[in-house]
Amino acid sequence: MPPSPASVEDEVENGVTTPYCKLSIYPKLSQRNRRFVRIEMRSLTPFGLFCSLFLQQSKRPMPDQKGPLKKSQLEQAHLFKGVEYESIIGLLEDCPVHELQQEDLLLNRGESNHFLFVILSGHLRVHLELSVDPVTVLGPGEVVGELSLIDGQPTSAYVVADDLCHVLALNEKTLWSLVEASHIVARNMLFVLSRRLRHGDSIILTSQQLQREYAHYAVIDALTGLYNRRWLDTMLARQMGRSKKGQLSLCLLLMDVDRFKEYNETNGRQAGDRALHTLALTLRESMRPGEMLARYGEDKFMALLPELDVATAQNLGERVRRTIAEMKIFSLDQHPLPSVTVSLGVAQMADEDTAETMIAAAHTALAKAREG
């Protein structure tokens, strides 16, 4: 007779073939991640019977504990705090205790779950993605799986054993029997759920804070601390729309450090960085409220000057140019460095201008200033 499915599964685990069947594993995965095993069995009887079996490897191991749960195992569980051992042990005697080896997967995100797990020993990691760090690590006494068990929705996270773990598995019937039998269990369950919701809110808040930080650094130039070109492109279009709608003047001031490549080659890149950093500080101090400054390129800076006509903007640019020529530049160890100068070009927005044409006009004005 062919071997039973149980013995076939054992032989698959050991990579053994028998005279009764041909064994294949699809796909060939690591022991840690393999979940599906396909076994093709060809009978050698005269009937030539053929069958294919698909065996799903259980995510959870078979119960490893025999006999009733010990009182000490339950006392540390948050769900059973303050509950008389004798009042609940009868409801728990049929609940299995599973052993998880390190990196065993207890819950798979997006799949249904029918158990609340109480951690008796060891630690479980909770991941939103297996490839990134866990959002939390749960230890003895804590529970997992309660939300998906109660609302019947697929699990929202992966739960993985961080070390050797033992977990008590409560199915839905047992959980509600405990709640009905003990007001203390019901109270503890509310406490567990409130902690889980609070932790979820904390994760959301942290995520929002990180998003704000990422958004901030995405538009800030690291060397100078000024806004970068990405920010400038957005803000210029916005200011042009505002100025056109209100029939207000808008000027663009473009500044370029003279012979900056030679400055770097002569004094070194660190000296060039110090010059740009000092120049940015000087420009920031020279701008009035409402005037917006950004680093436009390696050695170029641009200022948006709302409600200024071209003559006023040119006068402002000339004052800035003289201030930069007189500014002192020092290395990180406070040694004096050579000064720098800048050339400037000013463009005033016309009704037909776009952001591209206005920037082009500022470049043209800068080129003329250098020629003159």
Query: For residue 169, what is the domain's CATH number?
Result: 2.60.120.10
- Residues constituting the chain: 372
Q: What pLDDT, in 10s, does the model give residues 60-105?
A: 444 555 456 777 778 788 888 888 878 888 888 888 999 999 999 9
Within 13 A of 305's CA, how many CA atoms are on the CB side?
Answer: 26
**What integer is the mean pLDDT of 23-47?**
37
**What integer is the mean pLDDT of 10-14?**
40
**Distance (Å, rounded) from C-alpha 241 to C-alpha 301?**
22
Is the same domain home to 147 and 88? yes
Q: What pLDDT, in 10s, does the model give residues 263-276?
A: 999 999 999 999 99
pLDDT at residue 17, rounded to an integer: 38
**What integer is the mean pLDDT of 218-228?**
86
What share of the chain has pLDDT > 90, as a percent?
44
In our burial notation (b when 16+ CB lie closer than 10 A, e otherwise), range 226-264 reads bbbbebbeebbeebbeebeeeeebbbbbbbbbeebeebb
Instruction: Measure the CA angle with vertex 312, ends 309 and 314; round to 5°.
Output: 105
pLDDT at residue 8, rounded to an integer: 39
Is the same domain home to 82 and 127? yes
| Predicted model pTM | 0.47
Question: Count of CB atoms within 10 A of residue 277's CB?
Answer: 16
> Comparing 178 with 61, which gets the higher pLDDT?
178
Structural domain boundaries enclosing 138 = 71-212
**Distance (Å, rounded) from C-alpha 229 to C-alpha 359?**
12
Report yes or no on 130 lying in a domain: yes
Report yes or no on 253 lying in a domain: yes
Is the same domain home to 262 and 151? no
Is the same domain home to 170 and 288? no
**Distance (Å, rounded) from C-alpha 202 to C-alpha 6?**
46
Is the same domain home to 160 and 205? yes
Report yes or no on 224 lying in a domain: no
Q: What pLDDT, in 10s, does the model give residues 346-357?
A: 999 999 999 999
**What integer is the mean pLDDT of 104-110?**
91
β pairing state of 250-257 and 300-306? antiparallel
